[in-house]
Every structure is written in structure tokens, then in C-alpha cells.
Chain A
Amino acid sequence: MSDSLTVKSTRRHKLHPAALRTMHWINAIAMILLIGSGWKIYNDEVLFGWLHFPDWMTFGVYAQHGLQIHFFAMWLLVINGIAYAAYGFATGRLRRKMLPIRLSEIAANIRDALRFKLAHDDITRYNAVQKMLYVGIMLVIVIQILSGLAIWKPVQFQELTALLGGFQYARLAHFIGMAAIVGFLIIHVALALLVPKTIIAMVAGGPDVADDDTAPHPAPAE
């Protein structure tokens, strides 16, 4: 018995296991397809007169192709998202990596970042701002799926559409969700490019870490 316990505590895995890396990149593809095709669909009836997405930024030749891509990629996003949530809860990874999020740490992170002292040597632990952004974007995606359903099925899911204030407000909510995701994407990609080993880790798996990696975050060095 004690033998197996010892084995368990010393077992190690890659920072980003293969399953997680696969889900990350499927999610990236789904999101890009959804955004580019969504812009094509948006252009057919714009919410803001001043905003048309240039054709080269959109996916599909005409609106119907944008719609086809959107209603394919939605499956990719939803199925992959369910798999990610199931994996994250079952393995405890979500809790381990994303919690706790302490306000004091967020403040400290922002102070450090403004003084260009934000540490990123250890990519196995997320700082509080990262945790907040990752949890935040997950919630935005869930809301985005709900506002998408409200636009797709305003009769069958009429309560959802009503909750968002009606059909046009549901469209607006879906647009704002898109803007939030694009905003996240820009920050996420920019920061990953600043610390390229994070990209390598998301492709190759990164350093080995202990399975029961629950040690508290070390206090930031002053």
C-alpha cells in the first residue's frame, strides 16, 4: 500500500499533457474559424454603420459559406470544450492551475508588470492575472455559446433570447463576446510571443512536473 502511495507522489507528467495540448490547438482552430466566419455573417447586416470587416479578414466567399463554416466550427468548439471541462475537473487540473485567485496577488502582479519586474521564469505556475484572464475567457466562451444559441433558435430557446433582451440585443451580446475573445487572443498571443518557451511547451509539452503539484505559489521576491 505504502509502495503505491510513494509511486503516486513521485510520478511526473509533462506540464501540458498531450490531451491538453490537442484540445488547446483544436480550440484555437475552432475559435479562429468562428471569428473569421462570424465577421462574414456580420457584414451582411452590420450592427454598427462604421464597422464592416474587410473581405480578406473573413472566411467564406459569400454569407452562406460563412454560415456553413460557423455552424461547423460551433461543433468543434462545443465538443472540444466539453472534453476540456471534463478533463480539467476529472484530473483536478483546472482547480490546481486556476485556483485560488487572490486579489492581493493580482495587485502585486500589476505593480510588478508596470515596473517590468513580472517574473515569468517558471512557466509551470500561472500568476494571478493569468489565472483571472484564463478563467475569465472560459466564462466568456460559455456566455458566447449561450448568446449564439439565442440567435440561432430565438423561438425554440425564446427564454434565453428574452433574457438577453431580445433578438437584436442577443446579436449585440454575441458581438461583444467576440470582441472580448479577440481582445484576449491579442494579449494571449502577444505575451506568448514575448516568452516563446510557453509556445514550445504548448506544442511539445514543456518540463516535467509532479502529478500532485499542489504546492502553494512561492511568495514573490521583493
Chain B
Amino acid sequence: MAIRSPSSSIFRPKNGVDQSVMEENKKLIADINRRNLLRGTVSLGALTMLTGCSVSDTGAMQAFLRAVSSFNDGVQALLFTNRLAPTFREDQVVKPPRFNAFYEIEDVKPVDGQKWKLELSGLIENKTAWTAEQIYKLPEQEIIVRHICVEGWDYIGQWSGVPLSDFLKRIGADTKAKYISFKCADDYTETLDMATALHPQTILATKYARDPIADPFGFPLRLRTSTKLGFKNAKWITAMEVTNTFQETYWSKQGFNWFAGI
């Protein structure tokens, strides 16, 4: 065994590491190592095969698939009309709503409604930040619509809050701009096309089933639009930007379709 040059680390034992335990269990260790080596080799082989099968997540193939996904954004924008999504009765509403985020419900960090502010930026005339109290006083609209997740599940929810189109008018936003980007308290990001932002069933929701939205579902402010998949509905919104510059979002960066219209 080669003796390594003595380290000056204060954590290194002065008389070297005690080898007795190692000596006692030499046979066991050798056995485990041999088995692991074998298993490792097999796994490595399997991994190589996997990479062979899954060229779809990197490189030229991924670039191609993302280009098709962008093309599909354009097709969906063409298919989009201002028609309303089906609405439902109050007794069909699921309470509480189904939780979903890029982490578990236990990891939700509640937002302090007293300190919270909605920051505004971009092509907006009046960029004064809004407090929760101010936003909760705005005229509300209620929508009872189906939430459809990209994963395939759905539920009927009852949301109310100021229609986004009203709010945009109120703050003097340039509604000829292409996008509205949202930043959230959990560093989530989302970008909506302007047509969807102006849809009559797109609201900045403050209430669920007539009560203020609970912490896990986006208190104090979240987006709710009837024409997009669930993940487009940003929760715990802290900032909003009206812009002509496209900004990738939390999920679109990972390869999910950006437009995600339904």
C-alpha cells in the first residue's frame, strides 16, 4: 500500500486511520465489491441501451422536437378563438381544489399577505405596485370551469377575482403587446399570449369557492384561465410584465409545449 503524503488537515488522525475493522471484515467487503462490480457493469450496459433509446431528450433530436413544438404553438394560436369554455354548477365544484406544483404540498412556503405586493413592469403606464388589500377590493368575476392537467387528470373548480383584461385596462397596459409574463414567490415563471390574457374567462383569482384562496393553491394571487392546461395558471404571483419579448417558462424550458391551449 502506498503511503500518501501526510495531509495538514486538522481532521486527519495523527496516527493514521484505524484499519482493524477493515481487516476483520475483509472477506465480506471483497464479496460485496465483487457483486457490486458485476451489478454495476450490467447497469452500465443497460444505461447505455437506455441512452440509445432516449436520444429524444438531448442533441439534434431534441432540437427537432422542440422546433415541432414551437410550430404547434403557432397552430394552436390559430385554433384559439374567444369562445367560452363550458361552465358548471356550484354543486359540481371539488373542495378543496387538487394541489399541484413542481414540489409536494408539504413544501409550500405560504406568502405573507400583509407584506406581499404585485410588482408591475414592461409596457404598462402605471407601474405602481399593488397590495393584496387593493386587489381584493376590485370588482370580481366568478368562473366555474374544468381544470385539465397535462398529466391527464381534471376537476371542476370555482374561482373568482378581477378579470385580467379589466386589470390590464386599469393599469394602462399595452394590450397590443404579445406576452404577459409572471414571476411567482416560488421562482416559478409563466408566460401567456395576449389573446389568452384578454379572454373573458381569464382572471387574476383571489378566491376559491367564495373564500380567499388557501396557501397551497396560490394565496394571495394566482392566474386562472379556462383555455389553458393547468400548469399555465401561475400561483403565488409576485410580478407581472407586459412585453414583446418571449420568455421561456419553468416548464417550457424542460420541454413542455409553451402554448398549452385546450
Interface residues of A (CB under 8 A from B): 41-42, 44-45, 56, 59-65, 67-69, 71-72, 75, 152-156, 158, 162, 167-168, 171
CB closest chain-B residue, reference A37: B56
* Chain B neighbourhood of A72, CB < 8 A: 64-65, 68
Contact with A along B61-92 (1 / 0, CB 8 A): 01011101100100000011101011000000
Q: Are B148 and A167 touching (Cβ within 8 A)?
A: yes
B227 within 8 A of A: yes
| A44 to B251 Cα, complex, angstroms | 16
* Chain B neighbourhood of A61, CB < 8 A: 54, 56-57
Q: Are B262 and A156 touching (Cβ within 8 A)?
A: yes
Chief secondary structure at chain A's binding surface: helix
* Chain B neighbourhood of A59, CB < 8 A: 53, 56
A60 touching B56 in the complex, CB below 8 Å, given contacts A45-B153, A155-B85 = yes
Question: Which residues of B from 108 to 128 have beta carbons under 8 Å from A?
Answer: none
Interface residues of B (CB under 8 A from A): 53-54, 56-57, 62, 64-66, 68-69, 72, 79-81, 83, 85-86, 146, 148-154, 226-227, 251, 254-257, 261-262
The one of A45, A56, A153, A158 that contacts B53, using a Cβ cutoff of 8 Å: A56
| A60 to B66 Cα, complex, angstroms | 13
| A69 to B66 Cα, complex, angstroms | 10
Q: Are A64 and B68 touching (Cβ within 8 A)?
A: no
Q: Are A67 and B256 touching (Cβ within 8 A)?
A: yes
* Chain A neighbourhood of B153, CB < 8 A: 45
Q: Are B226 and A69 touching (Cβ within 8 A)?
A: no
A67 touching B85 in the complex, CB below 8 Å, given contacts A60-B56, A72-B65 = no
A153 touching B79 in the complex, CB below 8 Å, given contacts A65-B57, A65-B65, A68-B69 = yes
* Chain A neighbourhood of B72, CB < 8 A: 71
CB closest chain-B residue, reference A75: B68
Q: Can you report 27 A-B residue pairs in the complex whose CB atoms are below 8 A from each other? A: A42-B152, A44-B151, A44-B152, A45-B149, A45-B151, A45-B153, A59-B56, A61-B56, A61-B57, A62-B254, A64-B256, A65-B56, A67-B150, A68-B56, A68-B257, A71-B69, A71-B257, A155-B83, A155-B86, A155-B227, A156-B79, A156-B80, A156-B83, A156-B261, A158-B83, A167-B148, A171-B152
The one of B79, B151, B255 that contacts A68, using a Cβ cutoff of 8 Å: B255
* Chain B neighbourhood of A60, CB < 8 A: 54, 56-57
3 cross-chain pairs, A with B, having the tightest CB-CB distances, nearest first: A45-B152, A64-B255, A68-B65
* Chain B neighbourhood of A171, CB < 8 A: 152
* Chain A neighbourhood of B86, CB < 8 A: 155, 158, 162
CB closest chain-B residue, reference A56: B53
12 further A-B contacts with Cβ under 8 Å, apart from A42-B152, A67-B257, A156-B83, are: A44-B152, A56-B53, A62-B254, A64-B251, A65-B65, A65-B255, A68-B69, A68-B255, A71-B257, A154-B146, A156-B80, A158-B83
